[in-house]
Amino acid sequence: MRGLNEIMTFSNNKAFGLGKVIPMIIAMAGAVIFLLNATAAAEGEEYVLKPGDVISVNVVEHEEFSGRHKIRPDGRINYPVIGELDVASLTCAQLVKIMESKLSPYVNNPVVSISIEAYFANKIFIIGDVNRPGEFEIYEPIDLIKALAMCGGQKNAGARIAKIIRADGTIISVDLLDLCNGKMSKLETNKFLLYPGDTIFIPETFIFNWGVLAAILSAVALALEIALYAIWINDR
């Protein structure tokens, strides 16, 4: 009996210990998964370099390889010794690894750091006969209708013509009525996508004031009536 009791006591203590340990293991596993997810999310949110950004490259103890570089429209920079580098669409961390690898034939154990000195302003400009003229940030090419919605639309809903002034100075006229009524093909509407640096100009549309015309005609009629009455009086 004593042996049996000892076995039962040991089994109960073991079960009790496992009952405490298993939840701890599950909690620790959950914490690890959370940390991994948080790290992945942080990496996923890291800024991606774009054409127009200005970056500062610093190579420790090698000033000849350090300096500022503006990313060209083709997404490249020209770097000493290495030459042309595709950097757009990379994060700073990714570019650091690439540059350390490419500098290794020239520098022993290169230590590279990269910082962003200026971000390219992804802005379009809307001027003319609109409710809220000004500059607006975009994060991808947008169509003309969405751009007009950003500024509250035209003051005169009957305005028919819009002009797109490209960053390079090219001017495109757009028939807003045809665009809104779906009379243009997708290929045609793609010509009117707005890109950073573009400007939309809505010319002011003349609105005929029929009230003013009615008042003028009434005044003319009254003056004519008075003149005719005066002539009639003189003829008597």
User: Three-class SS of residue 36?
Assistant: helix
Of 212 and 63, the structure prediction assigns the larger pLDDT to: 63
Q: What is the pLDDT of residue 231?
A: 77
Residue 115, CA atoms < 13 Å, CB-side half-sphere: 5
Of 16 and 61, the structure prediction assigns the larger pLDDT to: 61
Q: What is the pLDDT of residue 37?
A: 46
Q: What is the pLDDT of residues 35-82, one digit of tens each?
A: 444 443 334 457 888 888 899 999 999 999 999 999 988 899 999 988
Which residue blocks in 76-198 are alpha helix, DSSP H? Answer: 92-103, 144-150, 176-180, 186-190
Average pLDDT along the chain: 79
Spell out where 74-180 has E strands: 76-79, 83-86, 112-118, 123-128, 134-137, 161-165, 171-175
Residues contacting residue 53 through CB under 8 Å, at least 6 positions apart: 70, 71, 116, 118, 119, 120
Residues 185-198 have a mean pLDDT of: 84
pTM here is 0.43
